[in-house]
Every structure is written in structure tokens, then in C-alpha cells.
Structure 1
């Protein structure tokens, strides 16, 4: 694809949506399953992995997709092998590894809004038994949202680096050490919202106001504060607060692998550290109404041991996994100039987890195999939360505390549960697979983060969720592998789905029953040399039950970010020209309408859309040089990737639009 942007994956993979409305949060949605809570302490049900290592922090994901070997995406519960919080699936990036020969590359990209981006690596032997690889990347560009009151919004100031070293140990062992660091330096990417004035339905849900509609009695088309966006252009705004995003993330990983005859042993030790600050002009106006800031200081440690083996009849793997996450979070919702209050809240959440797992595939005969897998996990979580409400008149603040001393039965939680996989694989030919089975995944419970008092302690914890997937499908290669066709149908029985909602300005996570019925179809065709065609189709029917609206009415709703129909495809043609080859490719995706919240508020409904990209490249026959030009969002389609309904409090909604049409070109040198 020629891109580092992880959102590009959504245009290539059935049932995948990617929401990265800010570098501080990346949310994957697979087959309708996601977690939309933007609190920094939350983990997602679509797990993200970097080289077999779980990345728990949502704010650590962006920027890791450089110098890659490949990206793997698994749909459906992956609890038995990958385990933690892979209820709906997972995304794993696999980085390029050190090589035994000297090689490398360097890429420079220039694009719209003054973009200058780089990516490069150098790899090779240090001795006969030791190899190393150094990878770097950067991305700088100005803001694409014009600000009438100061610096533009949506800019980037990002750097990343990765160093890996591998050493052969004896005749059958290998030790790998990897260090990775990411840095966002005072980016103006925070709060890249567009303002829309809204009214409120009888159920307390927001809807967009017409330009002549005076819902709040402030003025025609105005929000409850009396402000109205002047031109309705999502890429212009009036922000009086200079929002910033800073992040420092680094990780260290040690992997040791050793063969003992027919048994392979793997140990993976990992440490991660994340520090970030985020601030936004939450009222999206030139008025001093609402400033929102967050600070996070997190570390994560994990250890995994695996043993595996394979034979003609039986392949197996077994292991144990341990994890600890400690995150300190402070949030500040400053409304002193508007409501005379300032909410400062947060604290420490600690997670400790242990798991044992195993999975095997036994061939009953050459054409039939049985897959059995299981994992048992234990999670211990503790929350020490303090909420202080300050007042502009100087009166004594109101303090609420939630911790193991004040609420021993609520602030300390233990979750233990099991995942399993039972699947039958049929191989009628070497080029065909038919499968059917049952797969169960779990995600432990946790704690919500509420921004305003009064707070009922019983509404802070939420329970674990369980997803049982009943699935059947096929994978077929035809015409000497020139045609690949994959299809699947599935039914999700979703117990205690962790449904996120925002009432007023407070965030809530509650457990609700849900279900998903879906079908997927993928086709890849190579009809002639140089021509590649691919396409996919996804049909989803999702339902979350017993959602309680702000009015108190109970309803069933469709799941967020789950369009009922998605179609995508790519055409790539490469042919010789002079001393090289010219390639032309274009990819397009259609998504039917979808919602951004479990409330399914009118303002949260995003209409259907078609978005496409184009890339043209010329590469020399010796593979040393490549020159490329690209256009992303070719038709300059305006569509939202995020919306937060604040209608009942402010009479507006925070909406984030995807980047407008983006032109660029790159030069790459390989050696």
C-alpha cells in the first residue's frame, strides 16, 4: 500500500474498521466488536500485538507500523493462543528482522500541508553469529484544519526508532533483543474537532440543528452557549485554546528460542513505558467554556513461556503467561468560566494477570483434522480513584474517593474464566479447506471513569464479557493458485458486552447482552502476469439489547462502528517500461451507514460513503530505486471517523472528520 497509516488496513480486510481520530487513541473494530471508551486506563477487546507482545495501552499503538515484514489480522475470538482481550480478534504487526547480509533502505515522502516523512533501515551481520537492524521513521506536517484564532489543527511532529540484535546460541538457539521508542513532540493533533450545533430529542439524544432553528433560545442555528459555526466547513474552526499532544513511549523485549529435539521452547520478556499529555479546546469555539486535559504514566511488564512440537499427525503448543500493568491517570474537565466548576479526577489502576494455555491439531486422516484449544486466565484489578470538584466562588471542594479502603467489595476485583476452541478442518484437496467450529473468548472486567459528581460507586465497576463464536467457512485456491476465494458465516453469542455510553459529560461502561450475525467473502485474482485484483464483501447484523437511554427508556440498538454492508477492492497492474517497471493501483471501499455510539443518537449516525486511493510507482529492474506518487481520499469525500454527543449539556457535538484529499510523492532507495 505504500503507507504507514494503520487506518489503511480497513480498506483491505473484511469486517475491519479503524478509528484513529487522534494519536492518543486507536480503536480497532472487527465484526462489530470494539470498545469506544476513550479513558486512558481502558483496554480494548481487539488486541494489538507487536512481534508476539501484547500492547495494552490504546495510546501506544499509533506510530508502530514502520519497517514491517507484514501485518496479520485474525477475526473472531483468539483466546486460546493469543489470549488477553482478544474477544473479537486481533491485529499483529511483525517487524522486519536483522539479516545475515548487509541491506537497507531509505524513503523520503513529501505531501500536502508541508508533509515531510521519512522511513529507513540498515541491517546486517556484526559477526558470523550476531546480526543487527536499526530502523527509524518520522512524520512532520502542518495542520489541515484552518484556525481563525491561532495555530492550525491536525499537524504532526512524530519520530520513531527501533533497534534489534539477534545472536545464535549454540547450534539451535537464538537470542533476540529489541528496543523501540516513539515520540510525539507538542503536536497540534489534539482536539481536531469540527463544531455542529445540536438539539435534544425527548430521549435526551442529540440531533443536528438547521441553520434557522433556534432550539436553545440563543440564536438561529446556535448551540446552548450562543455560538454558531460560521461556514459549516469541517476543516475550518475557531479555537482560542492552543491544544497539544505529547507522548514518549519505549519498550524493551527479549526473546529466546531453543530447540530440544522435536520440542521448541520460546521465552518472551517485555517491558513498556508510556508517558503522555493531551489537551483540547473541547468547546470548539472562541469562547472559554470547556478545556479538557489528560495525563498518563503507564508501565507494563509481561512474561510468556511456550513449548511446541509437530509431527505428521499432531501439532501442539502449550504455555503460560503473566502480565502486570500500572497506569496513573489524571483528567481535568475545566468549566470554571462557564459553569463555575473544575473537575479534577483520576488515580491508579493496577492489573495483574496469569494464564495457562494449550492447543493442538490432530489429523484423524489426511483429509480431516481436529483442533482443540483452551486457556484459563486469572485477572486481579485494583482501582484507587479520587474525584475533586472545585468551585469558582472559592467554597470548599467536594471530594469523592473510591478505593479498596472506602469500597473494598468494589475497588478490588478478581476475574477468572476460560476460553476454548473446537474446530474440524476438512481438506478435500491440497488447495481447499472447509472448517466449522465453536470458539469462545473472554475479556476481563474493569472500572469506568466518571467525570462529574454525584457518583454512585456501584456504577464504576463493570463485569467481564464472554463471546462465543459459531463459525463455518472455506478457503479455496483455483487455477494453479491464480484465484483465491475465502468465505465464512458466523454467529456471535455475546454475554455482558461492555457497552460504552456518555450521559451528560460522564462516561459509563455497562454490561449488556448482544449478538452478531455475519458473512464474509474475499476474492483474489491474478489473471495474467502483472495484474492483481482483489475484493471483499461483509454483511453484518448486530444488536445490543437493553440499552437505557438518558430518558430512562430501554431499547435495543445496533453496535457502534458496524455498518451492515461493506464492499472493498483493489486493482494493481505492473508492466515493464524501459529499465524498470511501472505499477498503477487503486483501492476503494464502500461502507453503509453506521453509528458512533450504543445510543444510536441521530447526531451519531454517519451516512454511507465511498472512499478511494490511487498510487503510481516506477521501480528500476535492479530494485534499487522506486519513485511513487499517490492521492489518498481521491474524491475529497467529507466523512466523520468519530463523534461525541454533548448535546444535553452544551448543545453541540464534537465531530472528527477524516483527513481531506492528500497528495504526495516519495523516493525510495534500497541497497
Structure 2
């Protein structure tokens, strides 16, 4: 059976491929549950929203076994999620991403949690628990969401404390590599006007990348927990206050680099130095690090949301948030059983944000206006020990210049070559260590508005505009040293013109929605997205570095889509798009240092989502995404310019599938499910080097579950990557030194028991 609701324009269904909450029912039929989304900052049926959006509920994620931010990638057409160690997660939508690992950069695919923008990429990774739904919006979302959402956004919405009746659940899972987790929540009324909810998740497990050296742990493990407490208070009949506090901690998680490739693309055994030239993987699930790295992270987020009906159909919303995060990360950067490069980063991050919105509607119009403020303060320190090459622009073994009277030290590129043994000069060690620190202060304010006007019963015009102002300042200090020698300052970048960014620009939206019939919505849109500039900070930065600061990027998006119910048992959503990038921010490792350069780029493609229910017991979902991208000019790992490359993590096609059959048995409901995704050839870095090339692959998962007749408990057996596919999810090209890669988990079996009350 299909649950439906009545919308303003007749019967509508939540038809996106990922709006399925495939849950067991007392009847023999599977249930298609609707998902209400807030893609336009107001609640709407997904099929009424003229935006390319995929959304799925918390119940569906449980059915699919999704427990963290990276696992949604296989169920959203056009989405790729890459993780390099536990510290950074990057989202790629339609090939748009910031495929980097530096602490100070923000992503073009914005991430929101309960209406709050997460400004630090370090705070994006984490466990999902007690989730109401997840929304994935493709394309620029600048007018309503604003902050850096050029490529789209991911919005995680937690289950709130609105239930009066006491309710909750407990989930317990065990799986391979000694992995185990427990998750639960309880909520209900605390008094006549106050409701509460408390939820938590804990997870621990050994890694799947085994260590070959004694005293070193496996990589890919988990050790962390998360807590969230919520209150919902009825201040008066027209005012509701939602309060939330969330705390997450990752504790002593093993880290390291592994799977070393040669510059030509061959997989190399680091212990023998031998490999082949066809990208064959020698040992994808072993690492040879002699140094045991680890990762610690703590994050706290406090949010207050005030919603007030102010009369005459007007609603006022205020969202206030404070977030802080501390991170310590250290690893063996070379992945070899020798002391070559060890890498350590320390990050302290704070952000405060405030958003005000006022919305209203009449018979033919719906509108909202708002203002937004964001203040981010972050300190980053990076220590790289064992660099055999250049430091601060000075070749190893060279003579570096002296300091200026004000303490600023000019790098080698700023100084005429001194004579050997020149007075007050300093010698760059042959095996140096760099230690640089960054203080970044970023403030943003914006005002925005959107208007929907019904031109007729079937035609709606949507216009939106946002003005955004960025003010940023950075202080950068770079020092170096060697064994038994004191650290010396080699570069100070402070108080110079390139230390500040003063940037104002606008995001815009023009869209036409045509209700072709009660079952079909057709939409055409133009969106202008913006993303502010930033800095490339690394050990090679000097006052004269030409691309120390990179420019802002602008994306012009053109889109045409349809959402339709073909029959009572078949629904289809499809979109085609064209992106015109100006000053695309392309990240690459250039000369062994992370660097962002600006280049124009284009992307064109489309997505198709299809849902079929051929019988009471069957459900099928299909998705397909096509992508064709080109970047004008980027620089490879050796600093050479190259043109016509593809965007990273942008396969020419990707497809996903889910098939589910359920039947009544023993007073309850049994279900079996097979789902998977296939990806075409792609490059993992914008340099498109041989070593970053990833051949096409597919991943399949299976699940069998039994739910009791009263739906109070459920047991499931599941397997992920059942064909044991070997594929990479991240690659770091080191030029002549080769590259290190990170592989996705192998075949993985587990079981989950759930109890609801």
C-alpha cells in the first residue's frame, strides 16, 4: 500500500528514489512512507519542490544500515563521499567538491545540522544517530541557505522533542573486526509545556588495514561516542523554544598513510620496492607504518531555535548556535617502515551564528526574508618532520636570508642569492622539520529573500536574492628546525595586503514551476552560487607567494527537471543541468604542498530516479547519474600546467539499485533486501595523474530482517560489499615520490537488534 497526503494542488506523493522508508508492516505489503523536506526553508512534500533533492528518513537509513555520514553515498545519484582518515569528510555533488585536507578551507557542498551551518570540515565527520531525515540538495542553494552552497548541501535533521508520549529505542550492532555499537534515545513530556529527548551513540572497533610492523595498530578503526540533549518549551500558545546540546568525541583512533603507488601509477610494495605498471593492488589492506599515529577530537554544539506565530499568517524564526571543536591528529605520512615523513596537526575552532527569518503567504504568494551572521575563529598548527626537499622556498642545504628589523623573515624567493657563509644567514637542514601556525578570523553577514508568485493555477514564478559579505584576516608564521638545533623563523605573513579578504557578492535564483497535471511538476531554473576566497597555507608560503590567497568562485547553474507519477505503481524524477564555473577553486598537491588555484570549469549532466511497486510485497528503486566535466587549467604535483582535466570524483556515470521483498511470517514480517551502486572510471584528484585514476567498480550489500507483529523489536543480519570489491576512496598524489591511497572497507558481515518503546 502507499500512504499519501492531500496537498494544495491535489494528491501528491513523496516520490524521490530516496523518500522510501521501507519498514515492515503488520500487513504483507511494504509501506512507502512520505518524507517532508525543508529545501525552501518551509515544510513541503518533496514532490512539490522544484529542486533536485533526495531525502530519506531515519527509518529508511536504519533499513539500509546507514550509521555514518559516508554511507549515504551509495543511495544518492550524483553524490560521492570521500574520507581521508577520520578527520576530514568531503562531499562531492555532480563533481563539485573541495577535495582537500587542510584545516582552514570550507567546502563548496555545505553541510547543515538542524538548520546550523558547519563551517569547519573537521567537524563534518561523525556518527549519525536519532535522525529524523537527511536531505541532499543538488546545485547552488545560495538564496536561502547562502553560505558557500555553490555545489549543493547536505542537511542532517535530528528527531526533535515534540512528542508528548514517552517513546524511545535501543539499537545494538556487532560486526567483523570486533566492531560493536549501541545507540538509543528516550523522549516525552516533562510537564504540561515542556518536552525532552536524550539520545546517544557509542561505537568501537578494530581497523581493517592490518599493520605489518610491531607495536602499530590497524587502520580504519573506530572509537567514539556522541550525546545529544533536547528540550522543547511552549513559551505561549504562539511561541516554541527548542534547545539542543550535542557533544561528540573521537578517542585515540589509529591513523596513517598506506598503499604506496609509484608516480607512474603502479602499486608498490614498500618493503621490497617492487610493483607492476597496471595499477594492480599489491596489498590494499596492509600498511607498513613504523610510527603509530592517532586522532583525538572533541566537539560541542549548543543551539536555540525560537519559532513564533506573529499574526496575519506571519512566522518569525530565530536560530542561534555556538560550536567549538578541538582536534589533534598525527600520522606516518609516508606509509613506509622507515622514518621519512611524520605529520601532525592541531586545530582549535569556534563559531557563532545567528539567523533571523520572517515568512508569510496569501492566496497567490509565499515569501520569506532574513538575515544571517557567522563568526568563525580558528587556530591551526601543522608540524611536518622529515622533509628531504625544500623548506619555505629554500632548497635543502641552501643558505636562507636573515630577519628584517621588525622580525619578518623574507624567504629565499625574496632575497638575492647570498654568498656561502654570509653574515646572519641560516642554513636549511638537509632533513628539516617545519612547524607553521595559522590564526584565521572570518566574519560573514548576509541578507536574503525569496518570493513565490502563482501566475496562474498551474504556473509559479520563484525569485530569490542574497547579498553576502565576507571579512577575513589571517596570521601565518612558519618555522623550521632539525635534530638538536633550535627552531628558526623562516616566514612571517602578517599585516600585508594578502592577509585580508573583503568580499561582497550576490547569489540569485529565478525559477518557473509548471504543474502540467496533478501528477506532474516541471521546473526550469537559473541559480547563481558564490563561494568566498581563502588561503593556501603550507610550509612553502612566503610573503611573495603569488597564489597564497585564492580568489572567490562563482557558479552559474541552469537546470530543467520533472517530477511525475507515471502510474499508481511507478514514479519518476529526472533532471538535466549545465554548470558554468568562473574561478573554480581547484585543489592539488603542487610541489609537495597543498595548493588551491583558480580556473574556469564546466559541468553538464543529469540524474534519473525511479520507484516501482509491481506488487504488494515488492519494492524496487533505481537511480542513474551522468556527468561530463572539464577544468581549463590546473597544476600537477610537479607544478606544471595541464588543461582539459576532469573534476575529481566525477565518474561519467553512476547508478544505484535497491530491491526488497517482504512477507508475513510467524505473526511478524520478514524482509530481504539487495542494494548496490556502480561507478564509472574516475580520477580521485583534479590533476588526473595516472596514480589518481580509479577504474569502474560496483558495490553490493544485502540484508535480511524479521520484525515482530507489534513492531516493538527487530533483528537483522547484513553484509556490506558482498563481492569484496577493492576500490579507493581517497588518493594523495606526491609527484615523483608516488602517492598514498585509502581503500574502502572489504566485505563486512554484521547483525543488529532493535527494540522500540
| TM-score when normalising by structure 1 | 0.94
- Alignment partners' CA distance in 1, 2:293 and 2:483: 23
Q: Is the 8 A contact 1:402 1:457 kept in 2?
A: no
- Alignment partners' CA distance in 1, 2:275 and 2:484: 29
From 52, 63, 66, the equivalent of 1:3 is: 66
Q: Is the 8 A contact 2:259 2:283 kept in 1?
A: no
Q: Show CA shifts across 1:349-385 (max 9, x none).
A: 1110000000011101110000000100000011101
From 460, 465, 481, the equivalent of 1:369 is: 460
- Alignment partners' CA distance in 1, 2:74 and 2:212: 34
From 297, 300, 307, the equivalent of 2:351 is: 300
What residue in structure 1 maps to residue 755 of structure 2? 669
What SS does the corresponding residue of 2:755 show, helix, strand or coil? strand
Q: Given the superposition, is the C-alpha separation of residues 496 and 273 from structure 1 closer, same or farther in structure 2, using an over 3 Å criterion?
A: same
Tell whether 2:191 aligns with 1:103.
no
- Alignment partners' CA distance in 2, 1:459 and 1:22: 27
What residue in structure 2 maps to residue 221 of structure 1? 274
CA positional deviation for 1:392: 3.8
Instruction: Extract unaligned runs of 5+ from structure 1.
Output: 200-205, 224-228
Alignment of 1:157-236 (within 5 A): 157-188=223-254, 190-191=255-256, 193-199=257-263, 206-208=264-266, 221=274, 232-236=282-286
Which segment is superposed worse, 503-512 or 491-500? 503-512
Q: Is the 8 A contact 1:180 1:250 kept in 2?
A: yes
- Alignment partners' CA distance in 2, 1:445 and 1:412: 10
Q: Given the superposition, is the C-alpha separation of residues 220 and 322 from structure 1 closer, same or farther in structure 2, using an over 3 Å criterion?
A: closer
Q: Given the superposition, is the C-alpha separation of residues 143 and 515 from structure 1 closer, same or farther in structure 2, using an over 3 Å criterion?
A: same
Q: Is the 8 A contact 1:266 1:306 kept in 2?
A: yes
What residue in structure 2 maps to residue 121 of structure 1? 185
Tell whether 2:206 aligns with 1:142.
yes
What residue in structure 1 maps to residue 382 of structure 2? 331
What residue in structure 1 maps to residue 575 of structure 2? 488
Q: Given the superposition, is the C-alpha separation of residues 344 and 129 from structure 1 closer, same or farther in structure 2, using an over 3 Å criterion?
A: same
CA positional deviation for 1:456: 3.5
What residue in structure 2 maps to residue 203 of structure 1? none
- Alignment partners' CA distance in 1, 2:246 and 2:617: 36
What SS does the corresponding residue of 1:9 show, helix, strand or coil? helix
Tell me how many residue pairs correspond in the alignment: 647
- Alignment partners' CA distance in 2, 1:434 and 1:56: 34
Q: Given the superposition, is the C-alpha separation of residues 530 and 652 from structure 1 closer, same or farther in structure 2, using an over 3 Å criterion?
A: same
What residue in structure 2 maps to residue 62 of structure 1? 125
Q: Is the 8 A contact 1:351 1:379 kept in 2?
A: yes
Q: Is the 8 A contact 1:288 1:337 kept in 2?
A: no
What residue in structure 2 maps to residue 657 of structure 1? 743
- Alignment partners' CA distance in 2, 1:147 and 1:380: 46
What residue in structure 2 maps to residue 257 of structure 1? 307
Alignment of 1:11-160 (within 5 A): 11-98=74-161, 99-149=163-213, 150-160=216-226
Q: Is the 8 A contact 2:258 2:288 kept in 1?
A: no
What SS does the corresponding residue of 2:491 show, helix, strand or coil? strand
What SS does the corresponding residue of 1:296 show, helix, strand or coil? strand
- Alignment partners' CA distance in 1, 2:296 and 2:252: 5
What residue in structure 1 maps to residue 9 of structure 2? none
Tell whether 2:335 aligns with 1:271.
no
What SS does the corresponding residue of 2:125 show, helix, strand or coil? coil
- Alignment partners' CA distance in 1, 2:340 and 2:541: 19
Tell whether 2:532 aligns with 1:444.
yes
Instruction: Extract unaligned runs of 5+ from structure 2.
Output: 1-63, 390-429
- Alignment partners' CA distance in 2, 1:231 and 1:307: 56
- Alignment partners' CA distance in 1, 2:493 and 2:207: 40
- Alignment partners' CA distance in 2, 1:260 and 1:441: 32
CA positional deviation for 1:393: 6.8
Which segment is superposed worse, 464-473 or 453-462? 453-462
- Alignment partners' CA distance in 2, 1:107 and 1:396: 51
Q: Is the 8 A contact 1:115 1:140 kept in 2?
A: yes
CA positional deviation for 1:6: 2.0
- Alignment partners' CA distance in 1, 2:721 and 2:266: 25
CA positional deviation for 1:258: 0.3
Q: Is the 8 A contact 1:496 1:511 kept in 2?
A: yes
Q: Is the 8 A contact 2:383 2:436 kept in 1?
A: yes
- Alignment partners' CA distance in 1, 2:713 and 2:326: 38
- Alignment partners' CA distance in 2, 1:625 and 1:324: 45
| TM-score when normalising by structure 2 | 0.83
Tell whether 2:685 aligns with 1:597.
yes
Q: Show CA shifts across 1:620-664 (max 9, x none).
A: 11111000011011111010000101132xx23110000111110
Q: Given the superposition, is the C-alpha separation of residues 132 and 556 from structure 1 closer, same or farther in structure 2, using an over 3 Å criterion?
A: same
What residue in structure 2 maps to residue 226 of structure 1? none
Which segment is superposed worse, 316-325 or 579-588? 579-588
Tell whether 2:485 aligns with 1:394.
yes
Q: Given the superposition, is the C-alpha separation of residues 411 and 484 from structure 1 closer, same or farther in structure 2, using an over 3 Å criterion?
A: same
- Alignment partners' CA distance in 2, 1:346 and 1:503: 20
- Alignment partners' CA distance in 2, 1:490 and 1:248: 39
Alignment of 1:463-612 (within 5 A): 463-480=551-568, 482-549=569-636, 550=638, 552-612=640-700
Q: Is the 8 A contact 1:273 1:298 kept in 2?
A: yes
What residue in structure 1 maps to residue 441 of structure 2? 350
Q: Given the superposition, is the C-alpha separation of residues 553 and 266 from structure 1 closer, same or farther in structure 2, using an over 3 Å criterion?
A: closer
What residue in structure 1 maps to residue 340 of structure 2? 289
